[in-house]
Structure 1
Amino acid sequence: MHAAKHTLSPSLPAEPRLAGDLAIWIFILAELLAFGLFFAAYAFARAHDPALFAPEQEALNRNAGAINTALLLTASYFVVRAVHAAEAGRGRQGARWLLAALGCAGGFVVIKLAEYVAAFNAGISLSSSTFHMFYLSLTFFHFMHVLLGMVILGALWLNARRGRYGPRDMNGIESGAAYWHMVDLVWLVLFPLVYVIR
């Protein structure tokens, strides 16, 4: 009688999956397209009148823009840590990272509002010049996305505190993280395009 042969099936790698909801990725791609068209229009207008754009661009507070860049990058780092904590089953620790990300986003909002107040006090409006029309429109469009991102981060924080996220339930936190990274990515294009590149 021959001994039965036991063959061990090799463990297959997990199939790649989309992090978060498909719907949030469709929304993100639509938003990136809108920003891309906005950026292209700005670049086109600037190329046709660099003499108008240069001095008004020079007057922007690049230090404020740089600090806001650091705040958004730091917030994204904290969001990544929150996702990793949830994956490891440490949802409450993830909540603390999300709260830190919210703090950075709040700092961005305060600095951007100070920039707007300074601009309006100087008599700058959408009709002041082509540059200021683009500057105010682009940055305010992004600003509204930051505010929505803060609402999403706040909801994620509440859910993480309640232990909603874990290795078996990552969809919500991954979707929120994807949106926040989109907000960060857009600023990483907007800041050098509007504040820095001459």
Structure 2
Amino acid sequence: MTMAPLSQDDASDEGGDLLLWVLVFSELAAFGILLGGFLVMSVLHPESFGAAKLHLSARIAGFNTVVLLASGWQAALAARAGASAMQQRIALLVAAALGFVFVGLKFFEYSTELTYAGDDTFAAFFELYFMITGFHLAHVAFVAGLFVLVARRPERSNIVMLTTIWHVIDIVWLVMFPLIYFG
């Protein structure tokens, strides 16, 4: 039994688009550089970084981790082969809604941390913390918005592309969460 070769459309539907993988690599590289800088600074300033972490809300961040992973699960449901357009729409909208819940919780968490950010003892930590988590937050908000747009007219190639990026966002958060809150 021989299998027919994949057409160009089939390959791009399954995430084989070179530009998608260039984007994935560039995102991972950018976050890797930011997290590398955070690690270097935490080694250079262990006392102030350790003390600053006491002012973070690991519970909110932990709950947000569950929210983000549930959103990724919904995105994966939208991307599965054979899903109807209605199933794709519902899964994309749920993924987007959970993404926006993540954003709302993160802003609430920020509001509890801003009072400590002005303290000179914690300045380096919070500058990096807000830069890294804010960059991540911008990605979550942007892609969640794209989920809403794609849900209006779901095309498999767009869903696979956004789901791939969403999973990269998940992976970045799964590295950031323990590193920033507990590392």
Q: TM-score, normalised by structure 1?
A: 0.82
Structure 2: which amino acid aligns with 1:11? T
| 2: CA distance, partners of 1:31 / 1:75 | 19
The residue aligned with 2:3 is 12
Would the alpha carbon gap of residues 126 and 174 (structure 1) be closer, same or farther in structure 2, given more than 3 Å must change? farther
For residues 50-129 of structure 1, the aligned pairs below 5 Å read 50-84=46-80, 87-120=81-114, 122=115, 124-125=117-118, 128-129=122-123
Work out whether residues 56 and 113 of structure 2, in 8 Å CA contact, stay in contact via their aligned partners in 1.
Answer: no
Q: CA deviation at 1:24?
A: 2.2
Q: CA deviation at 1:22?
A: 2.2
| 2: CA distance, partners of 1:155 / 1:47 | 43
1:66-114: CA deviations, max 9, x gaps? 0110011000000111111xx2151111111111111211110111111
* 1:11 alignment partner, SS class: coil
Work out whether residues 67 and 98 of structure 2, in 8 Å CA contact, stay in contact via their aligned partners in 1.
Answer: yes
- Structure 1: which 5+ runs fail to align? 1-9
| Number of aligned positions between the proteins | 177
Matched, 1:156 2:150: yes
The residue aligned with 1:30 is 26
The residue aligned with 1:182 is 168
Work out whether residues 125 and 133 of structure 1, in 8 Å CA contact, stay in contact via their aligned partners in 2.
Answer: no
The residue aligned with 1:7 is none
Work out whether residues 72 and 184 of structure 1, in 8 Å CA contact, stay in contact via their aligned partners in 2.
Answer: yes
| 2: CA distance, partners of 1:52 / 1:39 | 17
| 2: CA distance, partners of 1:114 / 1:89 | 35
Work out whether residues 78 and 89 of structure 2, in 8 Å CA contact, stay in contact via their aligned partners in 1.
Answer: yes
Structure 2: which amino acid aligns with 1:115? E
Identity across matched positions, percent: 25
1:26-81: CA deviations, max 9, x gaps? 11211110110111111111112211111111220000100110011000000111
Work out whether residues 126 and 132 of structure 1, in 8 Å CA contact, stay in contact via their aligned partners in 2.
Answer: no
Work out whether residues 145 and 183 of structure 1, in 8 Å CA contact, stay in contact via their aligned partners in 2.
Answer: yes
| 1: CA distance, partners of 2:25 / 2:143 | 16
Which structure has greater helix proportion? 2
Q: CA deviation at 1:12?
A: 2.8
